[in-house]
Amino acid sequence: MKKIFLLLVPVFAVSNCFAYYGDYSSSPSFELPWWVIFMGILMIAWGVLEIILFFKIWGMTNDIRALKNDHFKQINTEVPTSQLINDIRKNLLLGDIDKVKKALLMKFADDVKHSYRSLPVLGQEKDENGKEQMVSYKERNLQKSIVSYVENLRKQFEKIGEPVPPYINNMSTYGDFFNLFS
């Protein structure tokens, strides 16, 4: 609305310039006043500059997209399971038990994080009045058991003849797992 107002004010101010001050003869010659020529040149220059500005802004949006991808991309620290299994086998053959333990612990951590991410975050439940409400499952998810993952890790550590670290033996819920790292 402001733009329209700003455009209409000068148009009304110069509207008396459209009066014809030439001679009223019947000759076919037509000559434009100097201000019409000047305004025409200004309008052409304005249009070209707006087109240039449009393409500059379009180019900047691509630059912003590239900057966002460079600076705000999520870092994926998880190693593919197949690569972990190959590392475990290779290090078992080489007899490097410390690297085997490290790979087993990484696989355990990746499995627990992946299973936690697959749990629902929000859901609808009925309250005491029977109305459905949106409920966060975050606290409930932290209380879910990870004993099966700990048992699986314990079996894998028994196969290589090593004890499971005590901080993992004491884990029973996702909350225990995340409290260890926070």
Please indicate, yes or no, if residue 111 is contained in any of the structural domains.
Answer: yes
pLDDT (tens digit per residue) in 114-129: 888 888 777 777 777 7
Residues whose CB is less than 8 angstroms from the CB of residue 146 and which lie 6 or more positions away in sequence, other chains included: 112, 115, 171, 172, 173, 174, 176, 177
Please indicate, yes or no, if residue 152 is contained in any of the structural domains.
Answer: yes
DSSP assignment of 50-108:
HHHHHHHHHHHHHHHHHHHHHHSPPP--PPPHHHHHHHHHHHHHHT-HHHHHHHHHHHH
Q: How far, CA to CA in Å, does 150 sit from each of 118, 134, 166?
A: 18, 32, 11
Residue 53 pLDDT: 94
Q: Which DSSP state fits 145?
A: B
Please indicate, yes or no, if residue 145 is contained in any of the structural domains.
Answer: yes
Q: How far, CA to CA in Å, does 166 sit from each of 162, 171, 181?
A: 12, 9, 15
Angle between helices 147-159 and 97-117 (to 10 degrees): 160
Q: Is there a contact between 173 and 146 (Cβ–Cβ < 8 Å)?
A: yes
pLDDT (tens digit per residue) in 23-35: 555 655 667 788 8
Residue 41 pLDDT: 94
For residue 122, what are the β-bridge partners? 136
Q: How far, CA to CA in Å, does 171 sit from each of 100, 102, 108, 117, 153?
A: 21, 18, 12, 18, 12
Please indicate, yes or no, if residue 31 is contained in any of the structural domains.
Answer: no
Domain extent at residue 157: 100-125+133-181
Please indicate, yes or no, if residue 60 is contained in any of the structural domains.
Answer: no
For residue 134, give the 3-state DSSP assignment: strand
Residue 99 pLDDT: 83
Higher pLDDT, 95 or 66: 95
Q: Which amino acid, residue 128?
A: E
Please indicate, yes or no, if residue 175 is contained in any of the structural domains.
Answer: yes
Please indicate, yes or no, if residue 27 is contained in any of the structural domains.
Answer: no
Please indicate, yes or no, if residue 114 is contained in any of the structural domains.
Answer: yes
Q: What is the CA radius of gyration of the chain?
A: 37
pLDDT (tens digit per residue) in 140-157: 778 888 888 889 888 888
pLDDT (tens digit per residue) in 2-46: 777 767 777 666 666 665 555 555 655 667 788 888 999 999 999
Q: Which DSSP state fits 73?
A: P
Q: How many domains does the chain have?
A: 1
